[in-house]
A and B are shown apart, each in its own frame.
Chain A
Amino acid sequence: MANVHKDFHGALSFGIQFLDDQYGLAGLEEFFTRAAKAVYATLIEDLHCRGLDALKEHWDTVFTLEAGGFETWYEGDTLVLDVRACPAIHHMRARNYRIADHFCEHTRIVNEAVCAAAGYACSVEYDQDAGRCVQRFWRAVP
């Protein structure tokens, strides 16, 4: 069982705001694209080799560990992740941490970097204030 210290969401949020203040959205894009390839190299390999089941397992593990309100399912060849209660947003709000202006953008950037590296594509529609999002993943057309 992994150790769960949710205050790290607040620290990440501080880092995102710092990056945004220093280097703007282009800096966020550059940093998280690069970080995603390093931090999630194993997930990228797994997604490339096993397909969307690997990503579904990843999200099921993460959101169960963090006690988020979520559901994953397939719509044809598309994996859908419906986050109804984002554990990061809800924890930061409960602890009165500042939520970075573009906090949820890191999800889009990381997902796109992971998927692109593995031959997949994705989308995300988020409502940061509500702590909700719907993410979709599918195999990219070559």
Chain B
Amino acid sequence: MISCVDYIYTYSELFKYLEERGGYGKVVELWEGIREEFLANLRDYVARDGLKGMYAYWSHTLGEEGGRHHMSLYDDMFVIDMHDCPSAKKVFREGRIEPYPKYCEHCPVLYPPLIREFGYEVEYHLIDCPSGQCRLVVRKPPDVPTPDDR
């Protein structure tokens, strides 16, 4: 069994393997599959509680994964400021594996399209991948219905 603590290294190696065999499109196909078929729990959180659901989801996952970040929850906005991503740290800075250079690109494929399905506007900024810095900004548009209106 590959331990969950060794998963991120394996994940990065999988991206490399898929790109070698099927090009970058095959890597994106994996990420889209994860979004559509594996992230049902995030979808449930957002459908049920909107912005507060996002806060609850990432409080759980980032709490378990570690790293350093700040989450901001407003009535009409949710923001994650990732200062030191635990996954990026493993991939880019531990020296255990040869990093997949586009490793961080999986997050913008996984999360914004899923959240937009519920009417939100989403920005994802990859600020500095090797140092593990990025920002997710979710806004509730005033004129579009979202789960927050219920």
**A residues less than 8 Å from B97 (CB atoms):** 38-39
Contact A66 B3 (CB under 8 A): yes
Q: Does A130 contact B (CB under 8 A)?
A: no
Question: What is the minimal beta-carbon distance from B111 to any residue of chain A, in angstroms?
Answer: 14
Q: Does B96 contact A (CB under 8 A)?
A: yes
Binds B, one of A10-18, A47-55, A72-80, A115-123: A10-18
Contact A35 B65 (CB under 8 A): no
**A residues less than 8 Å from B3 (CB atoms):** 62, 65-66
Query: What total of chain B residues lie within 8 Å of the partner, measured CB to CB?
Result: 32
Contact A38 B13 (CB under 8 A): yes
Interface of B, secondary structure class, is helix
Q: Chain A, interface size: which category?
A: 35 or more
Contact of A12 among B10, B21, B33, B96 (CB under 8 A): B10
**B residues less than 8 Å from A5 (CB atoms):** 4, 61, 64-65
- Smallest Cβ-Cβ distance to B6: which chain A residue: A39
Question: What is the minimal beta-carbon distance from A88 to any residue of chain B, in angstroms?
Answer: 5
**Bound form: Cα–Cα A114–B86 in Å:** 26
Contact A15 B98 (CB under 8 A): no
**Bound form: Cα–Cα A107–B3 in Å:** 10
Mask for A106-140, Cβ within 8 A of B = 1, else 0?
11001000000000000000000000000000000
Contact B5 A95 (CB under 8 A): no
**Bound form: Cα–Cα A86–B8 in Å:** 20
Q: Does B145 contact A (CB under 8 A)?
A: no
Q: Do A8 and B14 contact each other (CB < 8 Å), given the known contacts A23-B21, A97-B38, A106-B2?
A: no
Q: Does B9 contact A (CB under 8 A)?
A: yes
Contact B14 A35 (CB under 8 A): yes
Contact of B4 among A9, A22, A86, A95 (CB under 8 A): A9
**Bound form: Cα–Cα A97–B65 in Å:** 19
**A residues less than 8 Å from B14 (CB atoms):** 15, 19, 31, 35
Question: What is the minimal beta-carbon distance from A125 to any residue of chain B, in angstroms?
Answer: 14
Q: Does B24 contact A (CB under 8 A)?
A: no
Mask for A26-43, Cβ within 8 A of B = 1, else 0?
010011001100111110
Nearest 3 CB-CB pairs, A to B? A8-B7, A3-B66, A5-B64
